[in-house]
């Protein structure tokens, strides 16, 4: 059994230690915010927060994150509303197909957790390895700038 703390809830799961976190989030916990893109840790579509930092759920085993605080896109919102990063992406319509948005939003949330006032260079560096195949980068950067205010 593996214990996972996801979005503030404790889950005991009968899965192997080495199963990728992404599979358990999507298939066992029905958390479909994190997306399966490359499956190789390269695109960022599967990103989640682990103890406040961005991690690629396709490349992290459940055993490696047992007992740590995992937050998915679904867990960013609170009773008070959406996370400001989510609000910024809605305001700027920072998506075309939307498949990459999970990774973009989680990446900017992780950046803000580390640096509450990132400059343009820090925003671009943070998003550098989070890929958008539609090429919606202008809107994504606008949303990121708004979120980083």
Taking the least distance from each CB to ligand FES, the nearer of 54 and 123 is 54
Q: Based on CB atoms, which residue is closest to ligand FES, 41 or 98?
A: 41
Name the minimum Å distance from CB 100 to ligand FES: 10
Q: 31 or 58: whose CB is closer to ligand FES?
A: 58
* R_g of the chain, CA atoms, integer Å: 15
- Alpha helices (runs of H) in 4-136, residue ranges in sequence order: 21-23, 62-65, 73-76, 84-91, 101-114, 120-127
Dihedrals φ, ψ of 87, to 5°? -60, -40
In the bound complex, what is the minimum distance in angstroms from residue 56's beta carbon to ligand FES? 4
**How many CA atoms within 13 Å lie on the side-chain side of 13?**
26
Q: For ligand FES, which is the closer residue by CB, 20 or 92?
A: 20
- Which is nearest to 111 in space by CA: 143, 75, 137? 143
Nearest Cα to Cα of residue 38 among 17, 24, 57, 19? 57
In the complex, what is the shortest distance from the CB of residue 55 to ligand FES, in angstroms, rounded to a whole number? 10
Distance in Å, CB of 40 to ligand FES, minimum: 6
Binding site for ligand FES (CB under 6 A): 36-39, 41-46, 56, 58
């Amino acid at each position: 059994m593996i214990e996972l703390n996801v979005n503030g809830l404790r889950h005991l799961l009968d899965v192997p230690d080495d199963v990728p976190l992404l599979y358990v989030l999507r298939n066992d916990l029905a958390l479909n915010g994190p997306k399966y893109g490359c499956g190789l840790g390269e695109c960022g579509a599967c990103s989640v927060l682990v103890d406040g930092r961005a991690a690629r759920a396709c490349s992290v085993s459940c055993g490696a994150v047992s007992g740590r605080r995992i937050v998915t896109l679904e867990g960013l919102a609170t009773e008070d509303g959406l996370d400001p990063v989510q609000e910024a992406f809605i305001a700027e319509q920072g998506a075309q197909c939307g498949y990459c948005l999970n990774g973009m939003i989680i990446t900017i949330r992780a950046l803000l957790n580390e640096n509450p006032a990132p400059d343009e260079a820090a925003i671009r560096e943070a998003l550098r390895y989070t890929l958008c195949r539609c090429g919606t980068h202008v809107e994504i950067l606008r949303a990121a700038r708004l979120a980083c205010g």
